[in-house]
């Protein structure tokens, strides 16, 4: 096959989506941290399904138009970090061929390479040994083969074979995978998509569904992948984005010259421009210098600077449901849109200043489109989005790019962080100032959680048995025990120090008020100077969410 059109590509998308759908549970099983919310396969499946649906509706013989339909569907349906990265891979793919009616082998390989470039730029600090590595190494091989091979099927065969080989190498790049003895879950999901593409091109049935269970895979201890990245490893600490509107009385703009001027200031540099505007993204230690360089060419019409060290330091550690609010949405000129699981938590967040609460969180990450629709429904002129979950931050950031109002993400990873951020909100301040202030507030709160183990394992010397209650202090498992009371008290003793003033206990739907009151009594007896607040969050999965300030 020397030429690929849009209708054939649409068939590839459908088969790739179906193959991922068939194996979503297997991909989920590779999320080995033993809490009940490993959902990479679910997120990728829902994201790809959204892309496939849009592709089916908008399929055209013009491959550029079909690829744009896939890009749109993925973009709006992206859920979780894995779904966002998948959407970025095909966003770059679609952009590369948007004007082409058909493509040849070189164009096919080039589109995949463009997708990799786009995805890497979308991630603040790419981690090798993940879906990004699999996509990058496969694309590189595809480009190499396309230099001497004009058969698209042959290129896709090489592409898929290299993706599989790259996936097998991921444990050598990411220590968490080697400890557990599994491959990267996101990379595995991507390989399923590619295998579907290849089967479609060759007119063959899909590869056999993988029915392996987690118990077949895991016989070793493991850690969270983010534990292997330290804040001090971030060389360029400020994620800086600006938009420059060109002016006639300023210096003539050259994209190449501007890129060369900015390059010494940091990494992850992206400069995109047209006749009127340039958009810049760079990680730098000198955001002020970036702004000054932009002003040489015109007016700064958008400025966004994130302290990535603060963001990283803040990290702690069913079915999808559409955005809901349990009361009528009021219109606000300046709004806070946040995400939470549990009616009680939603009401608590509203009571302290949240304008709209999207139902979601653990196991049910809202999509980019869900977040966009929530913001649009509230009708505000300025919006701050609080994900309250590390796996929703990228979807929230992607939503901001699709909005035509002033909006920013405060990268909250837990409900306590979300509460601290809301309480730091100043309705008189700009979006940028609030984003900085609210992000800074995350360092003032510690998060504890009690949940249950979904499998036997061992982490950091803690022996864990299925159905045990696990005490998590700042995302680290510090105790596994059959007794809920013991787990909750362990969280308190690990998080409370001499600087602690307030402990907030949010108990879930599987915890009684009587049990929660017993925990309050424990604190009052052992820490008499600490103020205790108790709320019924009605959340599932987590009997207790605890905040220490």
In sequence order, the 6+-apart residues with CB closer than 8 A to the CB of 523 are 492, 496, 503, 530, 532
Instruction: Determine contact, residues 422/433, Cβ cutoff 8 Å.
Output: no
What local confidence, expressed as pLDDT, does residue 177 receive? 74
Whole-angstrom Cα distance, residue 89 to residue 71? 9
What local confidence, expressed as pLDDT, does residue 166 receive? 95
Name all domains of the chain by residue range, CATH numbers in brackets. Answer: 6-215 (1.25.40.340), 234-314 (3.30.70.1150), 335-444 (3.40.50.510), 447-548 (3.30.1180)
pLDDT in tens, 398-408: 899 888 899 99
Cβ-based burial of 149 (10 A; exposed 0-12, middle 13-18, buried ≥19): middle
Instruction: Determine contact, residues 84/61, Cβ cutoff 8 Å.
Output: no
Tell me which H or E stretch contains 102.
strand 102-103
What local confidence, expressed as pLDDT, does residue 272 receive? 63
* Phi, psi of 283, rounded to the nearest 5 degrees: -100, 120
Cβ-based burial of 2 (10 A; exposed 0-12, middle 13-18, buried ≥19): exposed
DSSP secondary structure string for all residues of 524-544: HHH-TTSEEEEEE---SS-SE
Q: Which has the closest alpha carbon to 20: 181, 145, 140, 195?
A: 195
What local confidence, expressed as pLDDT, does residue 107 receive? 95
Longest dimension (CA), the chain: 77
Residues of the chain with pLDDT under 70: 31-38, 124, 179-180, 210-235, 268-274, 308-332, 361-364
β-partners of residue 281 are 241, 270
Instruction: Determine contact, residues 271/258, Cβ cutoff 8 Å.
Output: yes
pLDDT in tens, 157-186: 999 999 999 999 998 898 777 766 778 889
pLDDT in tens, 320-345: 343 444 344 555 689 999 998 888 89
Q: What is the dihedral of CA 469, 543, 320, 127, to 10 degrees?
A: -50
What local confidence, expressed as pLDDT, does residue 205 receive? 86
What local confidence, expressed as pLDDT, does residue 413 receive? 92
* Alpha carbon separation from 492 to 178, 215, 413 (Å, rounded): 33, 32, 19
DSSP secondary structure string for all residues of 242-300: EEEEE-TTSPPP-HHHHHHHHGGGEEEEEEEE-SSEEEEEEEES-HHHHHHHHHTTEEE
Whole-angstrom Cα distance, residue 51 to residue 363? 21
């Amino acid at each position: 096959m020397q030429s690929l059109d849009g209708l054939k590509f649409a068939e590839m998308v459908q088969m790739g989506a179906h193959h991922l759908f068939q194996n979503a549970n297997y991909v989920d099983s590779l999320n080995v941290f033993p809490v009940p919310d490993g959902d990479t396969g679910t997120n990728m499946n829902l994201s790809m399904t959204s892309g496939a649906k849009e592709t089916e509706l908008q399929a055209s013989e013009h491959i550029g138009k079909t690829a744009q339909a896939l890009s749109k569907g993925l973009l709006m349906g992206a859920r979780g970090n894995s779904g966002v990265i998948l959407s970025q891979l095909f966003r770059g793919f679609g952009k590369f061929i948007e004007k082409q009616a058909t493509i040849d082998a070189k164009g096919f390989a080039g589109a995949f390479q463009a997708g990799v470039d786009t995805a890497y730029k979308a991630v603040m600090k790419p981690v090798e040994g993940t879906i990004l590595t699999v996509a990058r190494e496969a694309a590189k091989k595809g480009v190499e083969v396309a230099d001497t091979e004009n058969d698209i099927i042959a290129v896709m065969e090489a592409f898929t074979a290299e993706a599989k080989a790259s996936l097998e190498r991921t444990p050598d790049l990411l220590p968490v995978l080697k400890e557990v003895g599994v491959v990267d879950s996101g990379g595995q999901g991507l390989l399923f998509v590619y295998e579907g593409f290849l089967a479609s091109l060759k007119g063959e049935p899909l590869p056999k569904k993988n029915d392996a269970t987690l118990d077949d895979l895991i016989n070793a201890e493991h850690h969270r992948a983010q534990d292997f990245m330290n804040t001090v490893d971030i060389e360029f600490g400020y994620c800086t984005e600006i938009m420059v509107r060109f002016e006639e009385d300023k210096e003539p703009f050259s994209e190449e010259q501007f890129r060369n001027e900015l390059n010494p200031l940091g990494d992850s540099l992206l400069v995109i421009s047209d006749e009127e505007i340039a958009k810049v993204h760079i990680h730098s230690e000198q955001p002020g210098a970036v702004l000054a360089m932009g002003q040489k060419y015109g007016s700064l019409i958008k400025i966004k600077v994130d302290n990535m060290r603060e963001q990283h330091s803040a990290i702690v550690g069913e079915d999808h449901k559409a955005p809901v609010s349990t009361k009528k949405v009021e219109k606000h000129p300046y709004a806070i849109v946040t995400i939470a699981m549990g009616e009680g938590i939603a009401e608590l967040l509203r009571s302290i200043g949240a304008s709209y609460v999207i139902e979601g969180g653990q196991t049910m990450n809202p999509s980019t489109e869900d977040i966009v629709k929530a913001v649009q429904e509230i009708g505000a002129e300025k919006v701050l989005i609080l994900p309250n979950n590390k796996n929703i931050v990228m979807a929230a950031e992607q939503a901001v790019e699709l909005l035509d109002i002033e909006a920013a993400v405060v990268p909250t990873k837990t409900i306590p962080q979300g509460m601290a951020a809301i309480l730091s909100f100043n309705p008189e301040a700009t979006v940028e100032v609030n984003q900085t202030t609210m992000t800074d507030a995350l360092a003032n709160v510690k998060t504890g959680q009690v949940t249950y183990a979904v499998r036997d394992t061992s982490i950091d010397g803690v022996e864990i048995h299925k159905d045990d209650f696990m005490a998590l202090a700042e995302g680290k498992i510090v105790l596994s025990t059959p007794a809920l009371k013991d787990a909750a008290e362990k969280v308190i003793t690990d998080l409370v120090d001499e600087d602690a003033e307030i402990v907030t206990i949010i108990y879930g739907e599987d915890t009684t008020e009587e049990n929660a009151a017993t925990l309050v009594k424990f604190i009052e007896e052992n820490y008499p100077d600490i103020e205790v607040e108790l709320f019924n969050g009605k959340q599932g999965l987590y009997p207790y969410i605890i905040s220490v300030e």
